[in-house]
A and B are shown apart, each in its own frame.
Chain A
């Protein structure tokens, strides 16, 4: 089945540095990928929709200058947390949809990235 690889799984960084998270669709092409954020004991919240070859669409309240999304190819989307601060510490998950294979939406999720900013 469709596989989405997300890297790194864990990252600890100093406040003020930038962190890049990669999301790859391994065996299918994903024109659209989604980035979610999960706070402790809260739901996954959609941050942005990443579209290959065009600008990402951000949800209300998500700072596009803080969370930079690049979807340069049909198999790779990256999320860069710019000048990270401790309040950016969270669990970030990407997902992609394999349009080709299914009539069940076919969403596949990455394994998530635990970001800790110290």
Chain B
């Protein structure tokens, strides 16, 4: 079964600092990859996703992620964070071709706190 790990439980940054959140997965086949964000008191929202093609994926709010197949990684980046980016970030994986979602696996999440 696939699994997802995220490198940090809690990251604290000052505004304008650069961000990189690590995500690694284990699965022998082809996967589709996602990053979700959960702002305090709100629902999970899709930040970006990778299915195929350019391994550098751009998402909403200035986020991007790079899929490195050889490293089984899908790290999330943002060049300059804002206080409003304070949230919990989840990396998720699903095997390609899974149409029913039973194997949608989330990482444990990384809490990002941005200090004004």
A residues sitting closer than 8 Å to B (CB atoms) are 4, 6, 9, 32, 34, 36, 41-46, 49, 57, 93, 95, 97, 104-105, 107, 109-112
Q: Which of B42, B45, B104 has the most CB of A within 10 A?
A: B104
Q: A44-B90, A95-B101, A111-B43 are in contact. List 7 more A-B contacts (CB 8 A).
A: A43-B107, A44-B109, A46-B102, A57-B102, A104-B51, A105-B32, A109-B43
Q: Which residues of A contact B102 (CB under 8 A)?
A: 46, 49, 57
22 cross-chain CB contacts under 8 A = A9-B41, A32-B100, A43-B106, A43-B107, A43-B108, A44-B90, A45-B106, A46-B104, A49-B100, A49-B102, A57-B102, A93-B44, A95-B44, A95-B101, A97-B101, A104-B49, A105-B49, A105-B94, A105-B101, A107-B104, A111-B41, A112-B43
Residue B7 at the chain A interface, CB threshold 8 Å: no
The residue of chain B having its C-beta at the shortest distance from the C-beta of A99 within the complex is B99
1/0 contact string of B8-36 vs chain A (CB within 8 Å): 01000000000000000000000010001
Residue B4 at the chain A interface, CB threshold 8 Å: yes
Cα A107 to Cα B4 with chains together (Å): 18
Cα A109 to Cα B90 with chains together (Å): 13
A-B pairs with CB below 8 Å: how many? 53
Whether A43 touches B104, Cβ cut-off 8 Å, given contacts A105-B94, A112-B43, is no
**Interface size of B by Cβ–Cβ distance < 8 Å?**
23
The answer to whether B108 and A41 touch across the interface, beta carbons within 8 angstroms, is yes
B residues sitting closer than 8 Å to A (CB atoms) are 4, 9, 32, 36, 41-46, 49, 51, 90, 94, 100-102, 104-109
Whether A49 touches B108, Cβ cut-off 8 Å, given contacts A104-B51, A109-B43, is no
Cα A52 to Cα B92 with chains together (Å): 25
Q: Which of A32, A36, A44, A49 has the most CB of B within 10 A?
A: A44
